[in-house]
Structure 1
Amino acid sequence: MDHDEALQLVWDDILNPGRKGGGIAVVRGFTGSGKTTLLNRLAERAGAAGMVTLYATGCPGEQRSPLSVIEQWFSGCAETRDGIAAQLSALLAEHGEAASGSPDRDEELLVRQAQALVGDTLRDLAEQGPVVAVVDDAHYSDAASIKVLRFLSNRLRRRRVFLVLTDRTDQGKEYRSLRAAIMRNARPLVLQLAHLTHRSAAQLLHGLTGHRFSEDYVKGVLEISGGNPRLVSAIAYDSKCAHRDVPPEQWTPVLGTAFRETVSLLISAHRPESVESVARALAVLGDVRSPDLLSALSGVEPVKVVAALDLLEDSGLVTGGRFRHPVMQAAVWEDTGFTCRAELSRSAARLLYESGAPSPDVARCITATGTVTADWEVSVLREAARQAKAEGRWHQAVELMESAHGFKDGSDDHTELLMAVTRAKWQVDAYVAARHLADLVAAAREGRLRDRDLMLLAQMLVWHGRLDEAETVLRLLRDRAGESPETATELAVVEKLLSLFFTGLRGADTQASPAPADTAPWQVLSRTAPPWPQAVLTTRDLMRTKADGLYRVIVGQLASAFFAAGDADAQTPDINQYHYCFLLLRHVSASWSAMPQIDGVSAELFERLSPFQRALLRGLQAAGFFAQGRLEEAEAHARVALERPQAWGVAVGLPLSILILALTRRGKPAEAADVLNIPVPPAMLESHFGRVYLHARGQYHLATNNAYAALRDFLACGEAERQGGYPPVPTCPWQAGTAEAYLLLDRKDEAVRMAEEAIATAGDDLARLKAQALRVLALTRPVERRGGPLREAMSLLEESGDPVELAHVLDELGQVHYALGHAETGRSLMRRALRMARAGGFEGALKRSLRETSGMEAVIPSPAVMGAPPPVPGTRAGQEPEASEAFSALSPAEQRVAWLASIGYSNREIASKLFVTVSTIEQHLTRIYRKLKVKRREDLAAACPVPADVALL
């Protein structure tokens, strides 16, 4: 029952008008149940009613002091007969002097004298009115006081004396005899205090803080405390201190100093001391494996272990064999009196290990000792770290590996452990892991690293741009390659991969034999294990996307292996994981391509990825969003990827470039400038990522009208490409950028030369580069000659997919039509470009300063003219509602022809684009004019919304 109900029952029993004599009430409850609070409230109520109130508390430290409880009753009590306290003191003094003779006989005499004295005193007091005599924690009373209480319990029927006791289940022999006498003679009122209910907890919290709390807050407090009033009070105090300026409805349970101290007090308050021993052993083990195991660790007999657990559970500290809340376990563990925690933890580790407990549980006890002292402990820590990585607990895995590395026995295993620690740290923060690279290079020089570890070390060094050390490690590998064909093959793969980052790292031209001519590339993949090293060696240029489909298969497989496996470190060999990383980054940074394997990573899988893999994934997804013209999402993902830019090493050029370009195209030059202030490794500018970064920085300078700085960056891209021997990539169209910078500087001849050079050198896989150069080339010509290059650029972009550049081309082509007097066509094209920009979040891309050099300021319509009302429901974005009905009457082929004709394509150009004859186009146009009720080609623009099958939609 709760406090209020128990108090009222006791009070009603005292005031019972039908009672002629006195009575006894026994209040029982777990530690912290509020028994003392109830007695205090009873004593206050009795005193306010004019009753004589005697109060005493049993104490374990005074159990050897005779009559200590009875003496407390009368000490300072004004209503007692004169001299009783002095008489008791005199009796005790006489007892002390006589105790040297026969202690038992003297104590018996003392008890008889005390019984007579106390009995007479209470009889006299009861004649004046009811007497309420309470003893808190009566089970801790001394033996003499217990005998006096037993004497009184037999005489309460004739005296209006009410004896109220509180006790617990952990009782001594003497007190049990008192309880037996009470139950036999006095017919006591026995009350059992229960754990707090939701209602009583809310009332207690209100009384302690003066606030009314939400249901969730009260529920949370109850779940933590188990309904123990003392713990509830501690949580209320900590919450009040932590939420001084927070409205009560926003409070959350706080477990601070008061809570921890209360937990410690509740455990130390139990007697016997075995309860505290069991609690400490439980804090070390974490939960109860078996009473026998807990007994072996605590040194407490199994039967007493069970009793101690019952007491801890009654107190709300333990449930289901473990502490109710981790803070409770921490409070026991951190108790200053717990000085043997290291020894107890080592004993627990040994017991758990011998009983076959899971490695993570054994490892937790080992790490708690602070030192590793045996080989078996190292093995346990490594296995626990492996499991932690498999479950996505990467920081814990690092801590476990560092603990294992702390065991120094002078063997080569220590170097192996250092490599394992470095790999584990790499998955959390590659920048932090780099602190071990110097020691690993020294170990490599001394011949203490295996071949595969050397290959990993070389890639780690290259990642951070430490090329001289990487070359040292690669030389060591080349020396070993002659002794091992397997090492020679692996080394050839590693050197080819590293050369994708830094061409200066190309080693000997070791190439595996190519696959038979009649073997399809994907069949090579399916037969090799791992499936792609032979393909890496036999493909002439890994970055060419049309290498018989082989490269796309490689990228798809390695993306699935790197991300879809969840724990790449556990599922694939470390060497392969680093290969995957290098290839993925090189592929995406060379093409800005979206990858379905990456976009399809689930939230559940993402949670299991390491922080390194997460950052890599976000960077690659940012590239995919950028390629699709979804600049807002590209910006968001790039920012997440760059939370720890140092961890990216030289590859930081990839997410930085995406973020700079996304911000620049979204019209946020100030934010792009902040990104450019992020420090980058000096070696990055010498790598493949350096030219991508330089191009992004050049685009920023173009957008801010700093043509000279832009020109410098674009020319530096070209120089890096030539010196490094890198093949051209779509992500670094430096020739087109250079031409655009020359145009801004009014150096048209040089702009034409660079644009034509880009057009001449761009192959089929560089369509976007060629399209950009065509757009710049068009702007160097008179208005009437710009349509052809712009339409060709549009065709290339429709096939290759670059929404931002396509919007530019549409905008420029619209301006050309507007300047030539085709206002409807011009407005239609510019409106569509503007809608594309708004949908993709790159409207600022259409406001470049390049227009200021085109000589068309007078003919560019204002944004108000170019703008269009929101789409009518049921129509596609960008579709004019008036034209929709008539245009929908056209067949798909007619819609395509009408659209191409409306933006200025000739009949021959349309026929070539659609792979039909000119005559067919003429017949289509005849039917189109009739259905749309127009007479001239120029009128098509107003009547032709973009057809559904056009790629730019």
Structure 2
Amino acid sequence: MGLVERDHELGALREAFSEAARGRGAIAVVSGPTASGKSALLYAFTDVATESGALVLSATGSREEQPIPFGVIDQLLHAAPAEGEPLESPLPAAGPTRAPEPAGPGVTTSGHARVIDDACRVLLDLARTSAPLVIAVDDVQFADPLSLRCLSFLVRRVRSAGVLVVVTESAGARPTDAAFASELRRQPNSRRVRLSPLSPAGVAALAAQHPGLPATDGFAAEIARLSGGNPLLARGLIEDALAHPGGDGRPHGGEAFGEAVLACLHSAGPDVLAVARTLAVLGPPPAPKLIARLLGTDTAATARCLRILRVTGVLDADGFRHPRARSAVLDSIPAEERAGTRLRAAELLHRDGADAAEVAGLLLAAGRADGTWAMAVLREAADRALAADRVDEAVQYLELAYWSFPEQQGAAITMMFARLEWWDDPQAAGRYLSWLTRALHEGHAPFGTALAGTKYLLSYGRVEDARKALAVLAGATSALDADARAELHAFRTWLRVTYPALADELPAPLPAAAADGPTPAACDDPWPRAGRLLGDVLAGGGGERATDEATEILERCRLDGTPPEAIDAALTVLLLRDRPDLAAPWCAALLRECGERGTGSGGDAMRAVLLGVQADIALLRGDLPAARRAAAEALRTKRPEAWGVRVGAPLATLLLASSAMGARDEAEALLDHAVPEAMSQTVHAPRFLYARGRHLLATDRLHSALADFRTCGELMAQWGVDVPALAPWRTGIAEVLLRLNRRAEARELVEEQLALLGGARTRGHGASLRLLAATREPRQRPALLKEAVHLLQERGDRLELARALVDLGHAHRSLGDAGRARMVVRRAWHLAKECRAEPLLAGLSTLQEHTEPVAVAAGSPERAPGISALSDAERRVAALAAQGHTNREIAGRLYITVSTVEQHLTRVYRKLNVQQRANLPTALSFCSVQG
């Protein structure tokens, strides 16, 4: 293959040769980056000189042969032609007499001077008999010192001889002898020929010499980019492309390219090679200071080596130009050496205060970690990765810590594995639980880690394993410090609100300091406080203080720093306190923040929890479609198996909403849903049992419903969480008993629930009053039902309000008050329609015979006589009145005064020729009330 883009340089050497041919000695120094084609240019020129009749003596400097005195001169003399008598070498014979080295740089002993002078005379004599004479020395930077002295003597004597001295040297490499370099530069007959990397056009020309390559500009341009214009690297890429034709039409570095990279580095010298190897081990970006410290050299020398690597084309500004270049260098380094370099670099960076992720990345690459500092770095890097939802990265850090420090921190690391992988892949997390379980049962885990580990075993439903762990913990509480007592207190709180049956299995009595609450050291963690609040409310306490405290916790929480369980507990406290109005804005704000943070392991988990709360809020408001949507989305966001024992919460909400909407097939499918067996021992079991009982009741399976309600009540009483807001099992049993015509038993249960509720005006109170009315005589029912209606309307529960209105309509009808019944039923129908409570709508048809049809409008409202004469404002007021709303309610809905409502109704009665609202036409109830 011919030279590419070297015509100018070859021409410069020919000019120097012409000078020598005319008897005027010349010197040419060819310099350029490693593997830039210096040797190829020299060989091409010597071929031209030989063809021109010149005598060419060639030699090559070599790092391996550099210790041999006069090695390069010996090569030149042996290259002389043997015509007649053999050429008598002036060099000393091999052996001890040939071994002496120069006394120092630029210093030559008298013995060496005589040998050098004799060698120069021999060469000059050859020039007189065989002019012109070309002396070509490749890689002169590797020539031995005595040969360089001889060449220095020679260049000073060739000015009037027909001799051309041509040497090649690598740009940036330090010359073996600075005196020789200086001698070359100061000679007036010396010229320098510098080789640059090939241009993209030059690389394209090189590629064109190889048939079979893609003939596209893009292919050649990519070779130019990946090789940096280095001919050797470019040829390696070309060779790989020829060996593996086809593909995607782009050059890919293979074996030949890797070998070319290593050849470049070895040619550049040991210093450059060492820097390249260190950089390959550490990865980009190049850090001269760190590399210098690892190699024990100065930063300036390292920076010079990096410049050589960039000029050579192996590196660019960001590191290795091609991944194959780095992998080729890495593969050439023994694994133990790679790991050692990374460990030393990690420790140096840690001492310098480098970012934990950067240091931990080196430890990961090394595959091991040593020293307590490394453990701290890995834990910090894992925490940061988890906060940024980079779960896979965090798991890698923790796994390395586990294997590197099995005795000191193994159980803690395993517990963190379970926490990290729980939400997305519970089966994957389970493989770590076997390690964790063994450590807990053998008592190897620190106290705090053992508590957390036991908690995660319970989250997986592994109750028996957790019991064994609790038994081990029972013997470890005799000498706890304040922080450990606070952790114990927080854990018992968690047990009380999650696994109440196990709360007493921890050592008793509880240490006094722990019983008083967490220590100041634990105050930064919102969970103990939120858990304690939830425990108090579930036990029937808390009062208004719990509402205020839950709100305060939510005001301070942030998604990136607050445990999901703390946020869930605070929101649950508000719902159990019958304050969905306070919980709703917090839930919406936190869901928006989840959306801004994006998806990810932690983000999806928190979003699922918040969607479950949102579903409960909608259910308390009677918005059945919204409750069903949110609960279903919660179970999609976080798979049911990933919820663990907590899956009962969203399943219960979805079951209640679906059943109330009449979606019986969907509800039946939910009953077939597999839930963890261990859920029956958690506080989520009563809620699920209650929801299942409601569906069984709705489908007339009365005795099965009764069994679920009773089991629900037994568990809640046994665990000390008998709070109607969690699961009103008494009213559930009462509804079954009323259907079985056992009114006295039903009344006893309802009165018991009312006593438990005290004077609180909650939706539970309103629902209880509705059922209490059903146990009384017909004359007593309207008063109780009106109170229930007023209370439920106050609490904003549209579904329970519709049920109360239906019962009130029945009560009025049974007492012969058809007008009042008609008005109440209209309002109940509209509310049931808003809630999409289809079974309730169907039940309203039983009242049609004695009131008016409410399920179907009698044509357009305009068909009723007189309605078209009403103004828009009058029609809006009349529509709400026809639906059964009071004057005060109408005023609130339309943002007008009660007096204005009364005035509008007076005009409406006159225009429609009716005496009271009970006589308003049914068609009015279907009019729009929008402005």
TM-score with structure 2 setting the length: 0.61
Offset from partner CA, 1:76-116 (integer Å, 9 cap, x none): xxxxxxxx99979x989999997569769999989988899
Matched, 1:551 2:550: no
Shift of 1:653: 3.3
Map 1:716-727 to 2 at 5 A: 726-727=721-722
Residues 61 and 480 (structure 1), Cα distance of their counterparts in 2 relative to 1, 3 Å cut:
closer
**1:297 is matched by which residue type in structure 2?**
L
1:941 to 892, 904, 925: 925
Match of 2:102 in 1: none
2-side partners of 1:712 and 1:95: how far apart? 117
Match of 1:563 in 2: 558
Shift of 1:378: 1.6
Residues 245 and 118 (structure 1), Cα distance of their counterparts in 2 relative to 1, 3 Å cut:
same
1:500 to 472, 484, 497: 497
- Contact kept, 8 Å, 1:830 with 1:866, in 2: the verdict is no
1-side partners of 2:784 and 2:87: how far apart? 117
Residues 686 and 205 (structure 1), Cα distance of their counterparts in 2 relative to 1, 3 Å cut:
farther
Offset from partner CA, 1:272-327 (integer Å, 9 cap, x none): 34642574278359877774x64453244665434323334545666889878999
Map 1:331-346 to 2 at 5 A: 332-333=329-330, 335-337=332-334, 339-346=336-343
1-side partners of 2:317 and 2:895: how far apart? 76
Shift of 1:428: 1.1
2-side partners of 1:805 and 1:233: how far apart? 82
Offset from partner CA, 1:382-411 (integer Å, 9 cap, x none): 2552364146366655555555555679xx
Gaps spanning 5+ residues in structure 2: where?
A: 99-111, 423-428, 619-625, 775-781, 810-817, 861-866
**1:442 is matched by which residue type in structure 2?**
H
**1:944 is matched by which residue type in structure 2?**
S
2-side partners of 1:884 and 1:61: how far apart? 111
Matched, 1:583 2:569: yes
1-side partners of 2:36 and 2:176: how far apart? 22
Offset from partner CA, 1:425-445 (integer Å, 9 cap, x none): 34413544533442343344x
Match of 1:79 in 2: none
2-side partners of 1:885 and 1:259: how far apart? 92
2:644 to 632, 645, 649: 649
- Contact kept, 8 Å, 2:854 with 2:922, in 1: the verdict is no
**1:945 is matched by which residue type in structure 2?**
V
1:307 to 290, 300, 304: 304
Map 1:170-319 to 2 at 5 A: 170=173, 172-173=175-176, 177=180, 181=184, 184=187, 188=191, 190-191=193-194, 193=196, 267-273=265-271, 275-276=273-274, 279-280=277-278, 283-284=281-282, 291=289, 294-300=291-297, 304-315=301-312
Residues 544 and 150 (structure 1), Cα distance of their counterparts in 2 relative to 1, 3 Å cut:
farther
In terms of mean alpha carbon deviation, does 455-464 or 325-334 score higher? 325-334
Residues 899 and 852 (structure 1), Cα distance of their counterparts in 2 relative to 1, 3 Å cut:
closer
**1:271 is matched by which residue type in structure 2?**
G
Residues 466 and 927 (structure 1), Cα distance of their counterparts in 2 relative to 1, 3 Å cut:
same
2-side partners of 1:36 and 1:866: how far apart? 98
Offset from partner CA, 1:727-770 (integer Å, 9 cap, x none): 35667677999999x99xxx976899999999875869897779
Residues 477 and 461 (structure 1), Cα distance of their counterparts in 2 relative to 1, 3 Å cut:
same
**1:386 is matched by which residue type in structure 2?**
E
Residues 632 and 608 (structure 1), Cα distance of their counterparts in 2 relative to 1, 3 Å cut:
closer
1:462 to 455, 458, 462: 458
1:618 to 593, 598, 607: 607
Match of 1:439 in 2: 438
Match of 1:684 in 2: 679
- Contact kept, 8 Å, 2:458 with 2:466, in 1: the verdict is yes
- Contact kept, 8 Å, 1:419 with 1:440, in 2: the verdict is yes
1-side partners of 2:30 and 2:419: how far apart? 59
Q: Does the residue aligned with 1:35 lie in a helix, a strand or coil?
A: coil
**2:684 is matched by which residue type in structure 1?**
F
Match of 1:386 in 2: 380
Q: Does the residue aligned with 1:542 lie in a helix, a strand or coil?
A: helix
Q: Does the residue aligned with 2:637 lie in a helix, a strand or coil?
A: helix
1-side partners of 2:282 and 2:463: how far apart? 48
Shift of 1:656: 5.5
Residues 318 and 846 (structure 1), Cα distance of their counterparts in 2 relative to 1, 3 Å cut:
farther
Shift of 1:499: 2.4
- Percent identical residues: 24
Offset from partner CA, 1:477-533 (integer Å, 9 cap, x none): 6777788896778756643441222332343798999x9xxxxxxxx99x9998896
Offset from partner CA, 1:884-931 (integer Å, 9 cap, x none): 9987646xxx95x44432324577997999999999865441245689
1-side partners of 2:547 and 2:205: how far apart? 68
1-side partners of 2:229 and 2:176: how far apart? 30
Shift of 1:169: 2.0
- Contact kept, 8 Å, 2:286 with 2:318, in 1: the verdict is yes
**2:608 is matched by which residue type in structure 1?**
G
1-side partners of 2:490 and 2:363: how far apart? 41
Map 1:148-167 to 2 at 5 A: 167=170
- Contact kept, 8 Å, 2:272 with 2:309, in 1: the verdict is no
RMSD between superposed Cα atoms in Å = 7.8
Residues 558 and 161 (structure 1), Cα distance of their counterparts in 2 relative to 1, 3 Å cut:
same
1-side partners of 2:233 and 2:787: how far apart? 77
In terms of mean alpha carbon deviation, does 544-553 or 423-432 score higher? 544-553
2-side partners of 1:613 and 1:502: how far apart? 24
**2:295 is matched by which residue type in structure 1?**
S
Q: Does the residue aligned with 2:543 lie in a helix, a strand or coil?
A: coil
2-side partners of 1:705 and 1:238: how far apart? 78
Q: Does the residue aligned with 2:537 lie in a helix, a strand or coil?
A: coil
Shift of 1:271: 0.7
Residues 833 and 301 (structure 1), Cα distance of their counterparts in 2 relative to 1, 3 Å cut:
same
- Contact kept, 8 Å, 1:136 with 1:167, in 2: the verdict is no
1-side partners of 2:924 and 2:902: how far apart? 15
Matched, 1:429 2:425: no
Residues 828 and 651 (structure 1), Cα distance of their counterparts in 2 relative to 1, 3 Å cut:
closer
**2:36 is matched by which residue type in structure 1?**
K
2-side partners of 1:567 and 1:755: how far apart? 48
Shift of 1:803: 8.3
- Contact kept, 8 Å, 1:359 with 1:380, in 2: the verdict is no
Gaps spanning 5+ residues in structure 1: where?
A: 74-83, 127-132, 516-523, 569-576, 780-786, 815-819, 838-844, 869-882, 948-953
Match of 1:521 in 2: none
- Contact kept, 8 Å, 1:699 with 1:710, in 2: the verdict is yes
Map 1:873-884 to 2 at 5 A: none
Shift of 1:159: 11
Residues 273 and 655 (structure 1), Cα distance of their counterparts in 2 relative to 1, 3 Å cut:
farther
TM-score with structure 1 setting the length: 0.60
**2:925 is matched by which residue type in structure 1?**
A
**2:928 is matched by which residue type in structure 1?**
C
Map 1:590-605 to 2 at 5 A: 594=583, 596-597=585-586, 599-601=588-590
Offset from partner CA, 1:17-43 (integer Å, 9 cap, x none): xx9999998775545xx7349969997
**1:463 is matched by which residue type in structure 2?**
S
In terms of mean alpha carbon deviation, does 317-326 or 725-734 score higher? 317-326
Match of 1:168 in 2: 171
2-side partners of 1:476 and 1:443: how far apart? 8
Give the number of equivalent residue pairs. 835
Shift of 1:695: 6.3
Shift of 1:543: 4.2
